[in-house]
A and B are shown apart, each in its own frame.
Chain A
Amino acid sequence: MHLVYPVVLSALLFCTGVYGVLARRNAILVLMSVELMLNAVNLNLVAFDAWLSRAARAGFPHDGLHSGQALTLFTIAIAAAEIGIGLAIVLAVYRNRGTADIDRLRDTAEDGGGSADTGAGRDDGAGTDDATATATGTGEKAEASA
């Protein structure tokens, strides 16, 4: 098989993940896009490992390292750990704020924080938005965590 096929597919999947990370507002959808990017990298590693471990026949030095496959396994394990922690964080944030919307998590923004509006994410008003968000949030939270 031409190496080009898996590598191009990997590049396209990676860019799909990049679009997802930039365009999505829900925190869990962002995590999903990150998973897509990690999988694209895995495909790349596996393809190169398949090429290099066979290339030994053509005279390339090969010492049974299978680094591509080993690194893929490590990446899969790390991705699993990351998604565990990521989801724990998202759920903790949801419990506290009532929303999983990353545009509204602006506590560390420079003008004193407060939630963003919809649309372009301008910084306006701090207190009232937060209060209503948390008030409706607590109502939703009890049902949500069940």
Chain B
Amino acid sequence: MSHGFLSPTGVEVTFLLVGVVTLGAAVVSVTTRQLVHAALWLVVALGGLAVEYLLLTAEFIAWVQVLIYVGSVVVLLLFGLMLTRAPIGRSPDADSGNRGVALGVAVAAAVALVWLVVDAFRTTWIELDGASAGTTEVTGESLFRHWVLPFEALSVLLLAALVGAIVLSRKRNADVDAASSGKAGAARPAGPSTRTAAGAKAAGRAAAGRAAARPGEQGAADAASGDAGRRAEGGER
């Protein structure tokens, strides 16, 4: 069966509109000179992508996107911006001098990619009716049946990221800090091993898989907040 481009379905129209919003927010995010506004426009872009995932019937991934990207990654970025004194209003050094070259490279890459892709997939049609392939059950089953080994490797990687972020954030002259973060760090590695011991049903495994994604960025948040907490206490006294 053939589907013309000139008679789009409702889903396609919605996808296009949300796509325009997402792309617009992304463009504003990389061009605005107000640092915190850039992060907030990024939130809009990531939220738009979550809606696109819902339209493509990948619900589990949509909620993971909201949970991890919007709920944690952007909060970390905002932390980083605020701790490096992002001013209210325009920041003079947000853009380097390479803007023209960067624009040229980006436009050239865009033209090349879009041309290639449209040429290759002009007539491909995604059948969106029928059973959703993106529910928690389906995703959980495939994740814990076929992708177990990469999943466990991922949890080791997240552990490494966690430890690394903590080590990077420690202050040099605080040996007391080293002792306390050493103890705190020791409590956490117990996490992945107990999780692997819990072999359970599909939905729960999917949920635990999403939980495995958490410790990575939480480590930096903890480090940053630990610093903020200690400094704040010192500042107030």
Contacts and interface: CB of A to CB of B under 8 A. Distances in A.
Does A touch B (CB under 8 Å) in the complex? yes
Contacts of B214: 80
A3 B125 contact: yes
Contacts of A91: 80, 83-84, 169, 224
A106 to B, nearest CB: 13
B142 A25 contact: no
Majority SS at the chain B contact face? helix
Q: How large is the interface on B (under 10, 10 to 19, 20 to 34, 35 or more residues)?
A: 35 or more
A79 interface: yes
Majority SS at the chain A contact face? helix
Interface stretch (B68-76, B183-191, B195-203): B68-76
Nearest to A83: B73
Given A46-B56, A120-B97, A88 B164 contact: yes
Contacts of B213: 73, 76-77, 80
B109 to A, nearest CB: 5
Q: How large is the interface on A (under 10, 10 to 19, 20 to 34, 35 or more residues)?
A: 35 or more
B168 A69 contact: no
Given A81-B217, A84-B76, A90 B84 contact: yes
Interface in A42-68: 42-43, 46-47, 49-51, 53-55, 57, 64-66
B97 A146 contact: no
A92 interface: yes
Nearest to A22: B102
A12 B30 CA distance: 13
A34 to B, nearest CB: 11
Contacts of A109: none
B127 to A, nearest CB: 4
A66 B131 CA distance: 14
Contacts of A28: 35, 77, 80-81, 84
A144 B227 CA distance: 11
A3 B126 contact: yes
A16 B165 contact: no
Nearest to B56: A50
A49 B26 contact: no
B38 A9 contact: no
B105 A18 contact: yes
Contacts of B64: 73, 76
B146 A64 contact: yes
Nearest to B107: A15
Contacts of A42: 49, 61, 65
Contacts of A26: 35, 91, 93-94
B98 A22 contact: yes
Contact of B58 (A4, A69, A102, A118): A69
Interface in A111-128: 118-121
Interface of A: 1-9, 11-20, 22-26, 28-29, 31-33, 35-36, 39, 42-43, 46-47, 49-51, 53-55, 57, 64-66, 69-70, 72-74, 76-85, 87-92, 94, 100-103, 118-121, 140, 143-146
29 contacts: A2-B124, A3-B126, A5-B19, A6-B15, A14-B109, A20-B29, A22-B105, A23-B102, A24-B94, A28-B80, A35-B69, A39-B45, A49-B58, A50-B56, A54-B133, A66-B139, A69-B60, A70-B142, A70-B143, A73-B61, A76-B68, A76-B69, A77-B158, A79-B73, A80-B158, A84-B76, A85-B168, A88-B165, A121-B96
